[in-house]
Amino acid sequence: MITRIEQFKKKFPKEPKFRIKQIQEALFKFPDGSWEDATTLSKPIREELTKSIPWMSLTLESMQEDFDVRKALLKTQDGQMIETVLMMNAKEQWTVCLSSQIGCAMNCAFCATGKMGLKRNLTEDEIVDQVRFWQSQIQLEERISNLVFMGMGEPMANYDSVKSALNTILDNTDLGPVKITVSTVGFLPRMDLMLDDPDWPEVRIAISLHSVDSIARKKLMPSSTPDFLNDLRDWCLRYLEKFGNNRHHLTFEYLLIKGINDSETDAKKLARYIHSIGHAKVNIIAYNDTGMFEAPSTATLERFCDILQRSEIDVLRRRSLGSGISAACGQLANQ
Ligand code: SAH
């Protein structure tokens, strides 16, 4: 699908290049406005654009709210639904959780989105417009300080649109690259591409690891390959050689599931794996119920984190928001 900027260029090939920048500025400044707000364009051009290109590619279908989290169901131009989440973070600013696809092809056993299968990739506009949508929802004095690609979909499987969306967001907001995290199942062919791609911005990368036992991981994450853990280690070493510094560490997400990957041995194996990579952080997330497994007890969770800490792993127990409105990690499935 062709983006609104490409459509504009096609319609008005004689307009100077700086118009694009002006349009992008207006799009971000007036997220719930219209082409009439792009006042640097002539009246006839604005009228033509109003007729042919939507100012916002997504419309609000419904909103659910909890204490410090909001989930929006948004409708695309072709009538599909996506979910996006706004969460209060530790700095009392907002983190937006973005979707990159409608559904997902990765089919992870614990994830509700995976059960939908993949409907299609989101366009660059649809990714960018989730950010614009939330900008239009928050108060003037409030601020979106972080973005995470942890909503529906596998961002690396929609590499080109995610990349352009990232660059557009970086160019038109006050967000720096380290305030944005792209989370992936570990889609190595695209991650390889990323390492040599001069246009890929230096955003943070999080890898959903969830198990360091290759057979157990394959059961949880069918996209895993037999040699995944070794290949991932190689990739991480190359990444760290290229980008590794205080601002660019890698993060591993580890979803703790009762009786599946939460034993002391699992914790020790995980610590060994992380040490074999070096500079990396681990986020422990308790499984949010999607009807497939059981969550670990708080005691198990604490013991697991404790073992990692004693092994000098930089571990964070990620607090889970939004389960009251099915907006937590893995629960997005546009019901
Ligand atoms: N496809 C990407 C991003 C989307 S999921 C990825 O896999 O990383 C974002 C995070 O939520 C991932 O770490 C994912 O494994 C996790 N997640 C999925 N289902 C979950 C569940 N039921 N409970 C907790 N986290 C879950």
SS3 160: helix
pLDDT at residue 247 greater than cutoff 90: no
Residues 6+ apart with CB under 8 A from 19: 8, 12, 40, 41
Look at residues 75, 77, 4 and name the one whose alpha carbon lies nearest to residue 38. Answer: 4
**Nearest-CA residue for atom 17 of ligand 1:** 330
Q: Is the pLDDT of residue 326 over 90?
A: no
Mean pLDDT in residue range 228-251: 90
**pLDDT over threshold 90, residue 130:** yes
pLDDT at position 146 over 90: yes
pLDDT at 330: 67
What is the separation of C-alpha 206 from the centre of its chain, rounded to a whole number of angstroms? Answer: 9
Q: Which atom of ligand 1 is nearest to the CA of 206?
A: 8
CB 34 within 8 A of CB 50: yes
Torsions phi, psi for 28 (to 5 deg) = -80, -30
Please provide the average confidence, as pLDDT, over all residues in the chain. Answer: 94
For atom 15 of ligand 1, the residue with the nearest CA is: 208
Both tokens assigned to 156: 């690396």
- pLDDT on residue 327: 66
Atom of ligand 1 nearest to the CA of 288: 23
What's the gap in Å between 10 CA and the centre of ligand 1?
38
Mean pLDDT computed over 237-245: 88
Our mutation pick for probing the ligand 1 site, out of 149, 180, 208, counting the most ligand atoms within 8 A of Cβ, is 208
Ligand 1 environment, Cβ below 6 A: 106, 108, 110-111, 150, 154, 183-185, 208, 253, 255, 285, 287-288, 290, 329-330
Q: 335 pLDDT exceeds 60?
A: no
pLDDT by residue (tens digit) across 257-270?
Answer: 999 999 999 999 99
More confident residue, 278 or 96: 96
Would you state the pLDDT for residue 318?
80
Å from CA of 26 to ligand 1 middle: 34
Supply the pLDDT for residue 334: 60
For residues 232, 238, 243, 246, the Cα torsion angle rounded to the nearest 10 degrees is 70
From ligand 1's centre to the CA of 43, what distance in Å? 46
CA 167 from chain center: how many Å?
A: 14
Atom 5 (ligand 1) nearest CA = 150
What are the pLDDT digits (tens) for 150-178? 999 999 999 999 999 999 999 999 999 99
* pLDDT given for residue 325 in this prediction: 64
Residue 70 near residue 137, CB atoms below 8 Å: yes
Work out the number of other CB atoms within 10 angstroms of the CB of residue 242: 11
At residue 282 the predicted structure's pLDDT band, cuts being 50, 70 and 90, is very high
Atom 6 (ligand 1) nearest CA: 184
Structure tokens at 333: 């499935």
Q: How far apart (Å, rounded) are the C-alpha atoms in residues 283 and 69?
A: 20
Residue nearest to atom 7 of ligand 1 (CA): 185
**Residue 20: how many CB atoms within 10 A of its CB?**
14
pLDDT (mean) for 216-237: 97
Dist. CA 207–CA 277, nearest whole Å: 13
Report CA(318)–ligand 1 centroid distance (Å): 12
Atom of ligand 1 nearest to the CA of 289: 22
Which residues have C-beta within 8 Å of that of residue 115, sequence separation ≥ 6?
A: 107, 290, 333
Q: Which residues touch 74 (CB under 8 Å, ≥6 apart)?
A: 58, 59, 60, 61, 81, 82, 83, 84, 130, 133
Q: Tell me the C-alpha distance between 322 and 23, whole Å.
A: 35
**CA dist., res. 40 & res. 62, Å (int):** 33
Query: Ligand 1 centroid to 166 CA: how many Å?
Result: 20
Q: Candidates 3.20.20.70, 2.60.40.1730, 3.20.20.140, 3.20.20.105; correct CATH number of 81-325?
A: 3.20.20.70
Residue nearest to atom 3 of ligand 1 (CA): 150
Mean pLDDT along residues 23-36: 97
User: Would you please indicate which residues are annotated as catalytic (active-site) residues?
Assistant: 83, 329
Reply yes or no on whether the pLDDT at 245 is more than 90: no
Q: How far is the CA of 301 from the centre of ligand 1 (A)?
A: 17
Total-model pTM:
0.96
- How many whole angstroms separate alpha carbon 31 and alpha carbon 49? 16
